[in-house]
Amino acid sequence: MTMPDGRKTSAMLYLDGVHVSFDGFHAINNLSLTVAPGEMRAIIGPNGAGKTTMMDIITGKTRPDQGDVLFDGRTDLTKLDEAEIAELGIGRKFQKPTVFESQSVEDNLLLSLREDRGVRAALFRQRNPDDTDRIDRVLETIRLQGVRHQLAGSLSHGQKQWLEIGMLLAQDPKLLLVDEPVAGMTDVETHQTAELLKEINRDKTVVVVEHDMTFVRELGVKVTCLHEGTVLAEGSIDQVSENERVIEVYLGR
Amino acid sequence: MKPFLLTGTLNRSATIFLAIVATAGVLLPALNLLTPDASALHVPTYLVSLFGKYVCYAILALSIDLIWGYCGILSLGHGAFFALGGYAMGMYLMRQIGTRGVYADPVLPDFMVFLNWKSLPWYWHGFDMFWFAALMVVLVPGLLAFCFGWLAFRSRVTGVYFSIITQAMTYALLLAFFRNDFGFGGNNGLTDFKDILGFNVQADGTRAALFAASCVALAASFLICRAVVDSKLGKVLVAIRDAESRTRFLGYRVESYKLFVFTLSACIAGVAGALYVPQVGIINPSEFAPANSIEAVIWVAVGGRGTLIGAALGAVVVNYAKTVFTSGPLAPYWLFLLGALFVLVTLLMPKGLLGTWHAWYGRRKPAPTAGATPSDETEFAGEIAKPHMAE
Ligand SMILES: Nc1ncnc2c1ncn2[C@@H]1O[C@H](COP(=O)(O)OP(=O)(O)O)[C@@H](O)[C@H]1O
Ligand SMILES: [Mg+2]
């Protein structure tokens, strides 16, 4: 099926029949998933279900053995590397919060601003007033105005998670992949993170991987449950959590 | 707003460092040339050259700190770039000997006559001109680093694997330069130099000028490194050091950044080697010895990684200690001492001399306002870059 403007699908993210194996172990099995533009999707699934590996495939870290991975209807992500995929407009938050610990919060965001990533541009780049505005806006969204000049390494675990989300926002991506954003957060922080993601979802497509069911329920979006590298169930959180196979996977072992 | 690059806003320690280098560059030659031999203030020429050697080592240390301290690339082969710069200068100096050699051949250096060579190999052409040799001093190490780095970084060779292949690189060059038919004087290397730019290399005035030139080169290398690490590119380098894959997923081509800084670093090391050779009067394959490169890394660790100034300081302090030790009865134990020094510094002062001093000074200084001083902390961070070996 080809769409009139050359797109192969109207989806923002389209995975079809993807397989990945590590030394004979099938981490991803015939995985198919479609995320519409502007959608927020929650991905749940037990440990080892392949959620992180799926993100590795989308962001170019892992090459699938088989299957199609299309971004924005036309771009084949399996042919590109990490930097090219980032430049297309896909941002990724790691499962383990990863920020530049020995640099200030402001510098972390400055490094993330969407702009020429070339060596020469970086060498001769001058600081301009526009940067401050752009950084201000992100800081406001992630509610870290107060720690602007602190070292990222000195932030609390939750603040680091938000900073990393802020770094994605500074990149101004079309699609955000967020891996376990509330792991290790307090209830209040978890609630704030849900609010933050909803706010971000107003103009960006978001895929969130999360274990925390209260959090997923709070997001109130369509849920996909992965198990052994394949989609087990898809639908609203209530539908999915009532699904017999899902219950079996979560409780039956 | 302030541009990142070359705003001229150097912090206090950088200003002090440059002032010391400038003072040494003027004072030592002056005390050597302008005071009578008998004067208590007189600095003998051998000391001028000895200090000149330290200054060259300081430049080499800067070049290592630029890649290791800021980008986490541990090269254990930087002695090779230093030696290549040295050989390029040595070739110029050989061609200046002319008919004053033992065999008095107007074109061929003595060792080629001795080997019965009839004409100059192609790669020796042009080295009779200083400008050409000066260009090669930078280009040859730079080109080798570019090719080597291109292969290594593109294949994502990092960490200890990278360190090992840089050792292999310098060892391979050591073996190659040992061979007579390689055309660089084999085992003996290049020596018996007479003139540089028409001046006698042995003369006091020339020695003093070479020392001053080394100080200028140290200051210039420092300013270049400072400009690089203060630019946005410098922040990207630290980002790569601390979280390489995060940097990649932000869209940076990590390999291009590494390649740039590795090549620049090799060019600086080449300049250090070129200034070193006329001051010590010889360049031979032993400069490629893998142990030399490791020693240079120890200077940086001792002085303080990721501080630039600390690296230069470490090179001077460790080499001064080496001179003292190896000229006394403890000479045979120098390598043990160096090893012990490295272990002690790594365990007790992971930030090196300068980093430890900064931390101590920062703590002693009463806080200007109540509580923490985040602005101090961030300024500090740029300077005392925290080493993260693993990602
Ligand atoms: N690089 C790899 N090499 C080998 N096995 C891997 C690799 N990455 C992931 N796996 C395996 O694939 C499975 C899925 O892992 P992962 O995607 O991290 O799960 P999740 O994020 O859903 O907890 C796990 O069994 C894991 O051990
Ligand atoms: Mg995971």
Number of domains comprising chain A: 1
Q: Please answer whether residues B56 and B275 qualify as being in contact, where contact means their C-beta atoms are separated by less than 8 angstroms.
A: yes
Residue A112 lies in a domain: no
Beta bridge mates, A43: A209, A224
Q: In what order do the strands lie in the sheet with A90-93?
A: A90-93, A175-179, A205-209, A40-44, A222-227, A230-235
Residue A107 lies in a domain: no
Distance of alpha carbon B306 from alpha carbon B213, whole angstroms: 25
Ligand 1 pocket test: which of A18, A29, A53 has the largest number of ligand atoms within 8 Å of its C-beta?
Answer: A53
Which amino acid is residue B189, in one-letter code?
Answer: G
Residue A102 lies in a domain: no
Residue A16 lies in a domain: yes
Q: Report pLDDT for B11.
A: 83
Report in angstroms the alpha-carbon separations of B1 from A169, B27, B72: 24, 38, 30
HEC-encoded secondary structure of B187-202: HHCEECCCEECCEECC
Distance of alpha carbon B63 from alpha carbon A135, whole angstroms: 33
Phi, psi of B325 (to 5 degrees): -65, -45
Q: Please answer whether residues A49 and A228 qualify as being in contact, where contact means their C-beta atoms are separated by less than 8 angstroms.
A: yes
For residue A210, give the nearest of A219, A201, A202, A200 by alpha carbon: A219
Residue A206 lies in a domain: no
pLDDT at A20 over 70: yes
- Pick the residue from chain B with its C-alpha nearest to A103: B381
Q: In what order do the strands lie in the sheet with A13-22?
A: A25-35, A13-22, A66-71, A75-76
* A151 three-class SS: strand
Residue A159 lies in a domain: no
Q: Report pLDDT for B390.
A: 36
User: What range does the domain containing A84 cover?
Assistant: 1-88+221-253
Q: Report pLDDT for B375.
A: 36
In this prediction, residue A187 has a pLDDT band, given cuts at 50, 70 and 90, of: very high
Indicate whether residue A102 lines ligand 1 (CB < 6 A): no
* Mean pLDDT, chain A, whole residue set: 92
CATH number of the domain within which A232 lies: 3.40.50.300
Q: What is the pLDDT of residues A69-105, one digit of tens each?
A: 999 988 999 999 999 999 999 999 999 989 999 999 9
Residue A194 lies in a domain: no
Cross-chain CB nearest to A125 (options B231, B386, B388) = B231
Walk along chain B (391 residues) and give the pLDDT tens digit of each residue. Answer: 344 444 445 788 899 999 999 999 999 999 999 999 889 899 999 999 999 999 999 999 999 999 999 999 999 999 999 999 999 999 999 999 999 999 999 999 999 999 999 999 999 999 999 999 999 999 999 999 999 999 999 999 999 999 999 999 999 999 999 999 999 999 999 999 999 999 999 999 999 999 999 999 999 999 999 999 999 999 999 999 999 999 999 999 999 999 999 999 999 999 999 999 999 999 999 999 999 999 999 999 999 999 999 999 999 999 999 999 999 888 888 889 899 988 998 888 888 988 888 888 877 655 443 333 333 333 333 333 434 433 3
Residue found by looking up tokens 């992965």 in the block: A226
Residue A179 lies in a domain: no
- Pick the residue from chain A with its C-alpha nearest to B234: A123
Q: How many residues does chain B have?
A: 391
Q: Report pLDDT for A4.
A: 63
- CB contact under 8 Å between A102 and B2, yes or no, is no
More confident residue, A10 or B64: B64
Q: How many residues does chain A have?
A: 253
Report in angstroms the alpha-carbon separations of B295 from A29, A60, B250, B298: 52, 40, 36, 5
Q: Report pLDDT for B28.
A: 95
Distance of alpha carbon A108 from alpha carbon B70, whole angstroms: 16
| Closest ligand 1 atom number to CA of residue A179 | 21
Which ipTM did the prediction report?
0.92
In this prediction, residue A250 has a pLDDT band, given cuts at 50, 70 and 90, of: confident
In chain B, count of helices (H) and strands (E)? 15, 4
Indicate whether residue A48 lines ligand 1 (CB < 6 A): yes
- Residue B160 token pair: 């200890």
Q: Please answer whether residues B340 and B346 qualify as being in contact, where contact means their C-beta atoms are separated by less than 8 angstroms.
A: no
Cross-chain CB nearest to B231 (options A123, A150, A167) = A123
Q: Report pLDDT for B371.
A: 34
- Give the CA-trace dihedral at B289, B291, B293, B295, to 10 degrees: -140
pTM metric for this prediction: 0.91
Q: Report pLDDT for B298.
A: 96
Packed helices A157-170 and A129-142: angle between N→C axes, nearest 10 degrees? 130
Q: Report pLDDT for B357.
A: 86
Q: Report pLDDT for B365.
A: 59
Q: Report pLDDT for B228.
A: 97
Cross-chain CB nearest to B233 (options A92, A94, A122) = A122
Which amino acid is residue A164, in one-letter code?
Answer: E
